[in-house]
């Protein structure tokens, strides 16, 4: 099997879970998570095999369909997409282990529907990661929105419905109104939507047009949650925790920033991007988003809401990295995609564990919870450190490169935003852990009452990942070096 065809199997493998759940799962409902976990492992191994073959030679383009002349649905693995695919498929395995304990521990219903749409969402995320051109990226981007909608509204309550409406309106609205527009415009200007090293635009296209296009792209990719199109993410937290963890900390939101990185590197090219005046102002928007969301996060008492605003801010770090338009920024952005993924999924796992074991959602109720749930809260603490970007977690390397990127751009406002943002993230994350370990419990027992064991295993893997990435970030760094050279 050549790596070219394996790319296609990376998309198909998650869909196997759909088939298995609809057939086998119907007979034995207990098998859902086992099916998910085994399919996730297969998917990860497939992605890994593509990654391994990439070291030898670039992977060839695989054209699936050509809907109309010149525009194809095609796949092609490249370093950035590989990093995204590796992360998403690996964390899917962890999430399915987590789901064993969570979905049943929390008494969720309609598990078949839930697992089917979950698998479709992963397949779409793989499509986004491996897309060879803007058209394919757009198709899978929309598929990802639509397949996650039933997951957001899973509870079926009025609140969930409202969240679903905002979710669809903002994500479909920005992607159809701006992104599709920008893609068709690009296609009309250049005759291609292929991702090419160094960008697709000829030198004779006016800067006004290019500035307009960049604005359309950056705001059109609503999944990156740049202000003012960020509202969908906090409301989507009404979904069950595995969704918030894998999709709204990893697959969906990372698909957004991934798309922005792709556009900056392969549609515009870093050099051209640097020449466009507008990139600086868009970077300011990202910087503002980092600052504003951190302030909002400080004031949120609901744990998932605080984490959601933190996610928006951290996504803007990556957008900022892409928009400073230099190699270090892009390297930092790509690496932060990975590091933040591991860190934030740990935090969401923690939030879900507390909900299942202690039935608590508000931070003010979590005094002394660290003594009752030591493993959960230790992992949670490591996740916090990873988000802040301190050693010994991988978050340090990505923040370091991002900082380098802003320093290279010699825009001190951006440097300041990055540093202040990190300090603020310490301010809104660390008190949760401190409160959990050091403050006395208000009554109640201090007996150890941990979350189900599968939840703990999942948390240990993801928190362990944060630490491992501190000592072994090379593979991600090498991939990013391949990208910028």
Partner 1 sequence: MLSFHLSALQVVIPLLAAPLCAIFRGPRISWLIALAVGLACAVNSLAILNQVNTSGEIIYALGGWAAPWGIEYRIDSANAFILLIISFIYLVGIFYARDSIKAEVPEHSRCWLYTAWILCFSGLSGITVSGDVFNVFVFLEVSSLSTYILISFGKDRRCLTAALRYLIMGTIAATFYLIGIGFLYALTGTLNMADLAERLPGLASQNTVAVAFGFVVLGLAIKMALFPLHAWLPNAYAYAPNAVTAFLAGTATKAAVYVFMRLAFAIFPDDFFSDLTSTHVIVLAAGIISAILTSAIAIFQDDLKRLFAWSSIGQIGYIAVGLGLASSAGVAASFLHLFNHALMKTAIFMAIGGLFITTGSTTIAALENAGRRMPWTMAAILIGGFSLIGVPFTTGFISKWYLVSAALEQNHWWLAGLILIGSLVTAAYVWKIVEIAYFRKNPDTQIVRQEAPLSLLIPTWVLVTANIYFGIDAQFTGSTATLAATAITGITP
Binding mask 406-445 for partner 1 (x = CB under 8 A): ----------------------------------------
- Residue keyed to tokens 């399919």: 39
Tokens 């027992």: give the residue.
445
Query: In angstroms, what is the minimal distance from the CB of 168 to partner 1?
Result: 7
Region of 225 (left: φ > 0; alpha: ψ -120 to 50; beta: rest) is left
- Rule CB under 8 A: is residue 201 a binding residue for partner 1? no
Distance, in Å, from the CA atom of 163 to the CA atom of 232, rounded to the nearest integer, reads 7
CB of 290 to partner 1, least distance (A): 29
Q: Pick from 19, 146, 298, 484: which binds partner 1 (CB under 8 A)? A: 146
Q: Which of 383, 393, 301, 372 is nearest to 350 (CA)?
A: 383
Per DSSP, 106 falls in state T
Q: Where are the alpha helices (DSSP H) in 324-409?
A: 327-358, 369-372, 374-388, 395-408
Q: Alpha carbon of 65 to those of 68, 133, 239, 357: distances in Å? A: 9, 13, 34, 48
Contact residue for partner 1 among 73, 218, 345, 466 (CB under 8 A)? 73
Q: How far is the CB of 263 from partner 1 (least distance, A)?
A: 18
Q: In whole angstroms, how close is the CB of 278 to partner 1 at the nearest point?
A: 17
By beta-carbon proximity to partner 1, the closer residue of 130 and 363 is 130
23 binds partner 1, rule: CB under 8 A: no
Q: Answer yes or no whether residue 65 interacts with partner 1 by CB under 8 A.
A: yes
Question: Minimal distance in Å, beta carbon 214 to partner 1?
Answer: 15
71 bridge partner residues: 68
C-alpha to C-alpha distance for 163 and 171, rounded to whole angstroms: 12
DSSP 180-232: IHHHHHHHHHHS--B--TT-S--TTS-HHHHHHHHHHHHHH-GGG--TTS-TH
- Contact between 15 and partner 1 (CB under 8 A)? no
Complex with partner 1: residue 31 or 139, whichever CB lies closer: 139
Among residues 398, 405, 403, 266, the alpha carbon closest in space to that of 325 is found at 405
Decide if residue 12 touches partner 1 (CB under 8 A): no
Q: Judged by CB under 8 A, does residue 142 bind partner 1?
A: yes
Window 112 to 141, contacts with partner 1 (CB under 8 A): 138-139
Binding to partner 1 by residue 274, rule CB under 8 A? no
User: Considering the rule CB under 8 A, would residue 325 count as an interface residue with partner 1?
Assistant: no
Tokens of 460: 């240990």
User: Quick one: 168 or 427, whose CB is closer to partner 1?
Assistant: 168
Q: Which of residues 180-199 bind partner 1 (CB under 8 A)?
A: 180-181, 184-185, 187-188
Residues in the site for partner 1, rule: CB under 8 A? 65-69, 73, 138-139, 142-143, 146, 153, 156, 161, 165, 168-169, 172-173, 176-177, 180-181, 184-185, 187-188
């Amino acid at each position: 099997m050549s790596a070219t065809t394996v790319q296609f199997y990376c998309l198909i493998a998650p869909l196997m879970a759909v088939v298995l759940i609809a057939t086998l799962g119907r007979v034995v409902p207990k098998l859902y998570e086992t099916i998910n976990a085994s399919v996730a492992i297969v998917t990860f191994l497939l992605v890994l095999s593509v990654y391994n073959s990439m070291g030898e030679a670039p992977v060839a383009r695989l054209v699936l369909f050509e809907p109309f002349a010149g525009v194809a649905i095609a796949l092609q693995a490249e370093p950035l997409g590989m990093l995204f695919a590796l992360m998403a498929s690996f964390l899917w395995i962890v999430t399915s282990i987590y789901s064993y304990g969570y979905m049943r521990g929390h008494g969720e219903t309609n598990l078949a529907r839930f697992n089917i749409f979950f698998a479709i969402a992963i397949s779409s995320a793989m499509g986004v990661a491996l897309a060879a051109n803007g058209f394919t990226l757009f198709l899978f981007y929309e598929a990802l929105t639509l397949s996650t909608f039933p997951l957001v509204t899973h509870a079926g309550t009025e609140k969930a419905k409202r969240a679903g409406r905002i979710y669809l309106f903002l994500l479909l609205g920005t992607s159809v109104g701006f992104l599709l527009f920008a893609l068709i415009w690009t296609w009309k200007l250049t005759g291609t939507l292929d991702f090419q090293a160094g960008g697709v635009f000829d030198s004779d296209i006016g800067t006004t047009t290019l500035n307009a296009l960049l604005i359309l792209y950056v705001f059109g990719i609503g999944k990156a949650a740049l202000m003012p199109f960020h509202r969908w993410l906090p409301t989507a937290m009404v979904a069950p925790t595995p969704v918030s963890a894998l999709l709204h900390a990893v697959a969906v939101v990372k698909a957004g920033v991934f798309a922005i990185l792709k556009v900056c590197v392969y549609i515009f090219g870093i050099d051209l991007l640097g020449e466009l005046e507008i990139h600086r102002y868009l970077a300011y928007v990202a910087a503002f988003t980092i600052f504003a969301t951190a302030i909002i996060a400080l004031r949120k008492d609901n744990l998932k809401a605080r984490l959601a605003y933190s996610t928006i801010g951290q996504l803007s770090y990556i957008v900022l990295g892409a928009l400073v338009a230099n190699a270090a920024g892009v390297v930092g952005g790509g690496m932060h995609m990975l590091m933040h993924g591991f860190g934030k999924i740990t935090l969401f796992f923690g939030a879900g564990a507390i909900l299942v074991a202690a039935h608590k959602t508000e931070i003010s109720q979590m005094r002394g919870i660290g003594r009752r749930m030591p493993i959960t809260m230790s992992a949670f603490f490591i996740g916090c450190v990873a988000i802040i970007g301190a050693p010994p977690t991988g978050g340090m390397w990505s923040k370091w490169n991002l900082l380098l990127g802003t320093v290279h751009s010699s825009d001190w406002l951006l440097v300041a935003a990055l540093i202040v943002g990190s300090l603020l993230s310490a301010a809104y994350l660390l008190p949760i852990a401190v409160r959990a370990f050091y403050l006395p419990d208000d009554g109640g027992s201090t007996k150890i009452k941990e979350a189900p064991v599968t939840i703990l295993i999942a948390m240990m893997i993801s928190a362990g990942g944060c630490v491992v990435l501190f000592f072994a970030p090379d593979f991600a760094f090498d991939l990013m070096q391949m990208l910028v050279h």
